């Protein structure tokens, strides 16, 4: 029966899902956003440091120093994670252009141009004569006016997660225009003697003109607010992604594909990660501004409360193999896989046990993260644990990563440990059944060899 299911999955789902995961536009989104993860992780740590005084005694010198310099400490965050779409767009354009065998640098720059053309600068009103007259007799007002910038400003909110979907759309448009001009020959070609870098610049003139005129006409000349339109369209999708049924669906699909050797998070993550980033950035902004944090299901929620030790919450299984295995193979596997699992690297466990195509371990592999998500969702929604506000380095041990991701909340570390214990309980009966089978096989092999 299981062989038939496996054959069906391999023939009907495995190949199509593998092709979907490698679809060039989805891969470009994945590559572009993943390229921003170092910025997100490092800048999140600046935010964590800036708010350490919230969890430290107020009379400590370091607490007072951080509190006094909080604005400066947060500045790297404001020019990195806070405007992450600005960086992601370049990566998306670069990856998509390369998938078409086009110049990646030109694709990235064209995408950046198209995105910035959707960010409409606004002029700061000039100081009126009446205000100047008041400032002449009011030193405080005069000091304030001296710090007010002049000229044009950009709305930074749309440079962050709020502009992510517009960034994806215009990146696709810019690269497709670039591809059209290259394939159709509708470009300025230079003689072979011209250096390659110079030739590429001239070849990019035509797509640059098309992208600039089309996008600027829509956003600046006609005055269509594309950000508001897209925000209205996707807001139900974002809201739906931050729900328990959505969390269950995402986890089930990822684990189900993994069970048959398909990298489930590669497929699911390509589609869900833009939504996760929107949820996380909204939480981060609320945390920095001191307003209510509303979202639960941002990506760090999955990382630190669901997939502890990697996909399937396999740290619990690694602990069982390391300390409870009877079979020689199980003991060896536990010693090999435990340390990587502590640091959320679970390929040795997934392919070493193996979990893939193993009916005895697939069931807890799916159930454990689902139960983890339910408990974590309840704890978070009840306010027993803070909502995630930062993206901790994914290789940190679970309790430490959870502590940092929830804004230095010690309760998050406790919850992480409790969920590891829960995963051990879920895996135990299936592990015992599987390990006993391995042990019997080893005993039989020894008996046969002695005979």
As given in the structure block, the two tokens for residue 142 are 């005069």
Residue showing tokens 């390391």: 322
Instruction: List the one residue out of 269, 311, 316 whose CA is nearest residue 420.
Output: 316
pLDDT of residue 16: 63
- Annotate 273-284 with DSSP letters as a single string: HHHHHHHHHHHH
Q: How far apart are CA 197 and CA 3, in angstroms?
A: 55
Instruction: List the one residue out of 194, 168, 187 whose CA is nearest residue 27.
Output: 168
pLDDT of residue 70: 82
pTM above 0.85?
no
How many Cβ atoms are within 10 Å of 193's Cβ, its own excluded? 6
* Mean pLDDT, range 237-246, rounded to an integer: 88
Q: Are 241 and 272 in contact (CB under 8 A)?
A: yes
pLDDT of residue 198: 67
Average pLDDT in the chain: 84
* Mean pLDDT, range 270-279, rounded to an integer: 84
Please give the torsion angle defined by the CA atoms of residues 414, 416, 420 and 421, in that order, rounded to the nearest 10 degrees: 30
pLDDT tens-digit readout, 141-189: 778 877 777 777 787 878 887 788 899 999 999 999 999 998 888 777 7
DSSP three-state, residue 105: helix
Q: What angle do CA 240, 231, 380 make, to 5 degrees?
A: 35
pLDDT of residue 192: 65
As given in the structure block, the two tokens for residue 436 are 């006993």
């Amino acid at each position: 029966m299981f062989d038939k299911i496996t054959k069906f999955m391999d023939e009907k789902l495995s190949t199509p899902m593998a092709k979907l995961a490698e679809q060039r536009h989805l891969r470009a989104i994945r590559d572009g956003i993943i390229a921003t993860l170092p910025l997100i992780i490092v800048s999140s740590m600046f935010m964590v440091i800036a708010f350490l005084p919230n969890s430290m005694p107020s009379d400590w010198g370091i607490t007072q120093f951080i509190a006094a310099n909080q604005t400066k400490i947060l500045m790297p965050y404001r020019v990195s994670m806070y405007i992450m779409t600005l960086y992601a767009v370049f990566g998306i354009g670069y990856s998509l252009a390369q998938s078409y065998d086009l110049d990646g640098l030109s694709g990235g720059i064209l995408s950046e141009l198209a995105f910035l053309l959707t960010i409409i600068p606004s002029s700061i009103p000039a100081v009126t004569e009446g205000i100047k007259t008041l400032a002449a007799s009011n030193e405080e007002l005069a000091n304030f006016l001296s710090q007010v910038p002049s000229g044009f400003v950009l709305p930074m909110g749309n440079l962050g997660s709020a502009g992510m979907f517009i960034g994806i759309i215009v990146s696709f448009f810019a690269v497709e225009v670039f591809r059209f001009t290259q394939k159709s020959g509708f470009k300025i070609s230079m003689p072979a003697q011209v250096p390659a870098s110079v030739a590429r610049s001239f070849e990019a003139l035509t797509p640059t003109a098309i992208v600039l005129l089309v996008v600027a006409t829509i956003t600046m000349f006609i005055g269509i607010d594309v950000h508001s339109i897209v925000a209205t369209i996707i807001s139900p999708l974002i809201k739906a992604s931050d729900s328990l049924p959505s969390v269950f669906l995402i986890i089930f699909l990822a684990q189900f594909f993994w069970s048959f050797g398909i990298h489930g998070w590669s497929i699911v993550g390509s589609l869900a990660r833009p939504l996760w980033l929107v949820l996380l950035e909204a939480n981060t902004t609320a945390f920095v501004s001191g307003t209510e944090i509303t979202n639960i299901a941002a990506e760090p929620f999955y990382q630190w409360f669901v997939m502890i030790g990697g996909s399937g919450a396999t740290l619990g299984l690694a602990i069982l193999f390391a300390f409870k295995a009877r079979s020689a193979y199980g003991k060896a596997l536990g010693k090999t896989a435990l340390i990587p699992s502590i640091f959320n690297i679970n390929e040795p466990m997934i392919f070493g046990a193996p979990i893939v195509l193993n009916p005895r371990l697939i069931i807890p592999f799916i159930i454990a993260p689902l139960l983890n998500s339910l408990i974590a969702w309840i704890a978070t929604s009840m306010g027993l644990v803070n909502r995630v506000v930062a993206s901790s380095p994914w290789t940190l041990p679970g309790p430490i990563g959870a502590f940092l991701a929830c804004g230095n909340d010690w309760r998050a570390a406790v919850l992480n440990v409790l969920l590891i214990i829960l995963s051990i309980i879920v895996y135990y009966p299936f592990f015992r059944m599987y390990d006993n089978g391995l042990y019997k096989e080893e005993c039989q092999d020894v008996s046969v060899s002695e005979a």
